[in-house]
Amino acid sequence: MKRIHFTIILTAALLLAGLLGSAVADDYDVTVYTFKQSPTVQPFFASAYGYAVFPTIGKGGFVIGAAYGKGLVFRNEQVTGEATMAKASIGAQLGGQAFSEIIFFENKDAYDRFTSGQFEFEASASAVAITAGAQAKAGTDGATASASTSSSDAEQRNVGYRRGMAVFVHIKGGLMYEASIGGQAFQFTPLNK
């Protein structure tokens, strides 16, 4: 039984390592540009108090899963610190995936909560997946998705802040089946330290 657990954990770690290997070359400017191309996301750049951007988050799992990514936090288009995201999950899941993530902070209170050092999304937190003509809600409580024939149909979806934050993801590659529990945890380190 110990050998099976070790094999599962090793498989998840190898999947995650393979996904993160491509993350080193990612560029923050390219990621922000990608999100700015979405008409659904554009208004958030104009009105948000600040945002955190993660060029690549890799996740992988086989019953036990993990995800990890590094990002930067911005306020007034200036970098204020670095952030890391980690997630551990257990449940029905198989595969590996890489995605970009951006978190918008509606106001100073939301920004301060995120940058207080350690922050974790509640289990019901969700993200809107930005793809050409498709929208999806992906969260730790499950996932739903809908497709449209044009991007303008997808834009009509009511997307807004929840508890002062709005989260968008852009799937970069991979395939993952997941119906698991677990939340994203963030560690913030200010630049002035």
* Nearest alpha-carbon partner for 115 in 84, 148, 69, 90: 84
Q: Say if CB 97 and CB 176 are below 8 A apart.
A: yes
pLDDT at 171: 87
Domain range summary for the chain, segments of one domain joined by + = 2-190
Owner of token pair 């204020």: 80
pLDDT at 97 over 50: yes
State residue 70's pLDDT score. Answer: 96
Is the full-model pTM beyond 0.85?
A: no
User: Which residues, 6 or more positions from 117, have their beta carbon under 8 angstroms from its beta carbon?
Assistant: 187, 188
The per-residue pLDDT for 155 is: 41
